[in-house]
Chain A
């Protein structure tokens, strides 16, 4: 059976999105999405770990027994995150100063263990790599979206500090949308994160429902069989 890459991509970005559907990883999510840049940074770092742990675990799945799989997955993920942290601290120091706080948080991201358990340990290396990429992309997108909403409401800017993180070439991303804006403090604080997340979650539901209804109108029979399946 060849893996269905379109299915994997859809799962990662929309149907089974780590944040929007599985509602996992809310701890790092709320802690860092005060700005879109921070969200992007954590998303990218998490993607790296997701891909690396997926590949490692998929290639070792033949020798890991089900009884001891969880401690081994945890060990592999924690080791990877520590190595990423050390490497970034040594050779990407400016980026590390911005992201340093979030890197250890990746270990607490249960989504990574979740993917190791439910996908990588049951699939080949290439699908696991792809799944890591797609799950990471979905995670990064949700983080950037949430960060952007909170940043615009909270400080009236967008992608502040992007040049610091991604290099001078990305300075064009930094926008001041509302000059002399005093900001809504609530949006930056953790409760603002919960509120914004709530709106995003219900927005996604609404969109799903509209899409389903449209599909239903267009082709009622197929929609019916799909919903049964």
Chain B
């Protein structure tokens, strides 16, 4: 075999196409194998993360179920699906938690909001956001206690028109140097409370009744 013939063969379109095809196929095989090998572990990690953040907004002493077990899908004001996690004590729904989204300065702010059966906020936490480091990121519970001022509040406390930051004549503290971020958070939480109020009966209906209906 002369090297000239070999390089001639390697120059052919067929070799090039075959080479590219083989590499693409190999890459696909490796990716599929990687996906299969890690899929379950990743799903487990996600569930752990979710139940950790749910645990922060629903105290463990008011429920005896796994919060991920009795989830429902409901529609919010705009018709978008929302996953509703329910805390059950026996068969009674003692609290619900769901995600709300606000439009912040740097993009959407995802919050998890826990509401007790009496309509009062049990807790709320920022799950993800892209606010300015050092200013807007004070909405994180690990950086500032700002987010805790919502605990125990409800749609009547303060009255709906005062659900705003102090700068806008409302009843909530703002953050120094950030205006849009706290506004977005307050608005998102208010929307979440309104969603709860207007669907209170459906959200709090006993789990057994619901299962029987389904």
Chain B: minimal CB distance from A122 (Å): 17
A56 to chain B, nearest CB (A): 11
Interface residues of A (CB under 8 A from B): 34, 63-65, 67-68, 71-72, 75-76, 78-79, 82-83, 86-87, 89-91, 93, 97, 154-155, 183, 185, 188-189
Please measure, in the bound complex, the distance between the C-alpha atom of A210 and the C-alpha atom of B37, giving whole angstroms: 54
Chain A residues within an 8 Å CB radius of B37: 86, 90
Residue among B27, B31, B49 with most chain A CB within 10 A: B27
Known: A34-B133, A188-B133. A83 touches B31 (CB 8 A): yes
Chain B residues engaging chain A, CB cutoff 8 angstroms: 10-11, 15-16, 19-20, 23-24, 27, 30-31, 34-35, 37-38, 41-42, 45, 48-49, 132-135
Report the bound CA distance from A14 to B23 in whole Å: 34
B20 & A90 in contact (Cβ 8 Å cutoff) = no
**Minimal beta-carbon separation of A59 from chain B (angstroms):** 13
B20 is contacted by which of A71, A78, A79, A89 (Cβ under 8 Å)?
A: A71
The answer to whether A75 touches B42 (Cβ under 8 A) is no
Residue from A82, A87, A89, A189 in contact with B31 in the complex, judged by beta carbons closer than 8 Å: A82
Chain B nearest CB, measured from A137 CB (Å): 27
B134 to A183, Cβ gap below 8 A? yes
Known pairs A89-B45, A93-B45, A155-B134 / 7 extra A-B pairs, C-beta < 8 Å: A79-B30, A83-B31, A86-B37, A89-B42, A90-B37, A91-B38, A189-B133
Q: Could you list 11 A-B pairs, sorted by A, with CB under 8 Å? A: A63-B19, A68-B19, A71-B20, A78-B27, A79-B31, A82-B31, A87-B34, A90-B38, A90-B45, A93-B48, A97-B49
Q: Which residue of A has the minimal Cβ distance to B133?
A: A188
A69 to B181: give the CA distance in the assembly, Å.
48
Q: Per a CB cutoff under 8 Å, which of B16, B20, B41, B132 touches A189?
A: B132
B42 touches A76 (CB 8 A): no
